Amino acid sequence: MQDSLSRRAMLAGSSAAAGTLLLPGNALANGHGASDPVAPFRTPYKLGRLILGGSKVAGSFDEKAVDCPFVFRHEGRFYLTYVGFDGTGYQTGIAVSDDLVNWQRQGVILARDPSDPVTRFNVASASILRETEMHAPGELIRVNGEYVCAWHAYPSPGYEEGPAVIGLAFSRDLRTWRRGPPILRAQDGAAWERGGLYKPYLVKHGNQFLLYYNAKTAEKDWHEQTGVAVSTDLKTWRRHPGNPILRNGAPPAPDSRFASDPVVMTHQGRWAMFYFGLSGTDYKARDLLALGRDPFTFHKVDEVMIDVGKPGSVDDGYAHKPSVIFWKGDLYHFYTAVSGPYPNDVRGISVCRSRPWS
């Protein structure tokens, strides 16, 4: 069934009556030893401001808010794809930077199509196939001479309204994309994903392509978990029989409601899944981490990688939707920061890193 509330409105209404969550760990704590397996993934130092927010330009695709960062390196510069919200729905834009802090908007790269029943209101590129090793430069990978992005689209106007589908698009220049048909639909999946699909993250592993994605159950007060589908040709996809591979924790875990928005990397023989959790106790969203020895089995780390900020900060509501890149010895962790009460909340993109800011 289709939910009657958007994800954003449902969570805002729930958080008003929520209590305080006591977390088992804190990524901002110091004093971890060199043998600590989580150490390479920590980015405790927040910039403390948005690096990209709603443009506030009337009629622009990102007038109201920006969301869902995806960062990579290309031709000697850094690029960030993001989705912009204009009051009707999502479209995808791109920004460029030389230092990962100061960004210049470059406009829309994936626009909605009013003539297409799938993307007439929304189309959000969530990832482009890139190097998977966390300490690699973050360059994109071509398949048959083309870049490949994974997108999702919601069927109704508004902020993430209705059961979304997932598809792929292809480009030779990162500006003009040839969008293919949906490859995953909610109605073809199991009960855990029957309510709709969310952010896809595409990985190449050997001769296989792995498409990680989160999805929701069909009830009004839904849960979100993460699964994966596998392909050898980017056309025929098979859902992993062990889905969901990342499940909700038991209350009061910080992912007891949502275990969402996977970003999957490798590092020194291990697999790492950055994701965000939503607590069913305080209804705050935080970035979390799970580690594994293969791309299908992950064990959650018992600490928060990015926590929400103090009242009045840019991320006092949510600090979620990760994207990471390594540069000059530092790991940078981009995320969607949300502050203030709904419906007047401010949604934009911020960053933290593994070394203090000067």
Q: Where are the alpha helices (DSSP H) in the chain?
A: 7-15
Q: What pLDDT is attached to residue 27?
A: 37
pLDDT value for 162: 86
Predicted confidence at residue 33, as pLDDT, reads 43
Cβ-in-10-Å burial (0-12, 13-18, 19+) of 51 comes to: buried
Residues 140 and 73: their CA atoms lie apart, in Å, by 7
Per-residue model confidence as pLDDT tens digits over 232-270: 999 999 999 999 999 999 999 999 999 999 999 999 999
pLDDT of residue 358: 87
Please tell me the pTM assigned to this model.
Answer: 0.94
User: What are the extents of the domains in the chain?
Assistant: 7-353
What pLDDT is recorded for position 342?
A: 87
**Which residues are paired to 351 by β-bridges?**
334
Which residue carries 């924790």 as its tokens? 249
Superfamily in which the 7-353 domain is placed by CATH: Glycosyl hydrolase domain; family 43 (2.115.10.20)
Positions in the chain whose pLDDT score sits under 50: 1-4, 17, 22, 25-33
Alpha-carbon distances of 128 from 80, 124, 225, 345, rounded to whole Å: 11, 12, 22, 29
pLDDT tens digits along 101-140: 999 999 999 999 999 999 999 999 999 999 999 999 999 9
